[in-house]
Amino acid sequence: MTDNNVSSNMIKNEHEIQSISRSAALGDKCFSHILGFIEPGMSEKQIAAEIERYLFEHGAEKLAFDTISVSGERSCLPHGEPSDRIVKKGEFLTLDFGAVVDGYCGDMTRTIAIGSVTPLMRKIYDIVLESQLAAIDVIKAGVSCYDADKTARDIIVKAGYGDNFTHGLGHGIGTQVHEEPRLNTKSEEILQKNMAITIEPGIYIPDHFGVRIEDLAIVTDFGIINKVNSKKDLIIL
């Protein structure tokens, strides 16, 4: 039963879920493609342009939002715009992108490394991944958005980086890339079956680097159905 206080567009019907699934699948295919495209010496803009070219060539009606491609110290910008900065070995590259398919948005983020990582880079990546997996484990219908966020945030806080997780855990998604519910420290919303949400903790260390891992999922009575299937273990190109 749908709570009368819940906006009807938060609960997706089967057609909407299928459309969201197709947009997420296109994102997975694009990510697989871009891993074979990226090379040191390319600019953030070049990589973003190739992501967008692939999305449009393979069925995107439009972009769900402006593609984020940020590297090195710029990867600490959660909503950074691609620049002419050259991607170098020993750095992180964060890619956040999505296509609109059948009128519905996709949204995924992966942070990858170029060439090698420092012990600190690997440590931060592992914390973010642990945080995201913990949130995935707890999310199901009946769980509050606050508690979902807290589950992920507590891991980051315990590791000493609470001040570096500067946004909420996630948001609803549908015909708009940012919809209700909001999974954050102020939300009073309760997750319900067939809500479509993102799960995207991050740690951003100013002037050094940032890491974010984002999936798009459908809430069920027993957990989630993750619509993003791209690898989440640290990828080093």
Q: Summarize pLDDT for 184-221 with one digit per residue, the tens.
A: 999 999 999 999 999 999 999 999 999 999 999 999 99
- Give pTM, 2 decimals: 0.95
Domain assignment of residue 203, given as a range: 8-226
Whether the CB-CB separation of 201 and 213 falls below 8 Å is answered with yes
Domain-embedded: residue 2: no
Cβ of 65: how many Cβ atoms within 10 Å?
A: 18
| Overall number of domains in the chain | 1
Whether the CB-CB separation of 91 and 50 falls below 8 Å is answered with no
Q: What is the CATH number of the domain that holds 24?
A: 3.90.230.10
Domain-embedded: residue 99: yes
Domain-embedded: residue 232: no
pLDDT in tens, 85-109: 999 999 999 999 999 999 999 999 9
Domain-embedded: residue 231: no
- Sign, Cα dihedral of 26, 31, 36, 38: positive
Going by C-alpha positions, the residue among 209, 140, 212 that lies closest to residue 169 is 212
Domain-embedded: residue 235: no
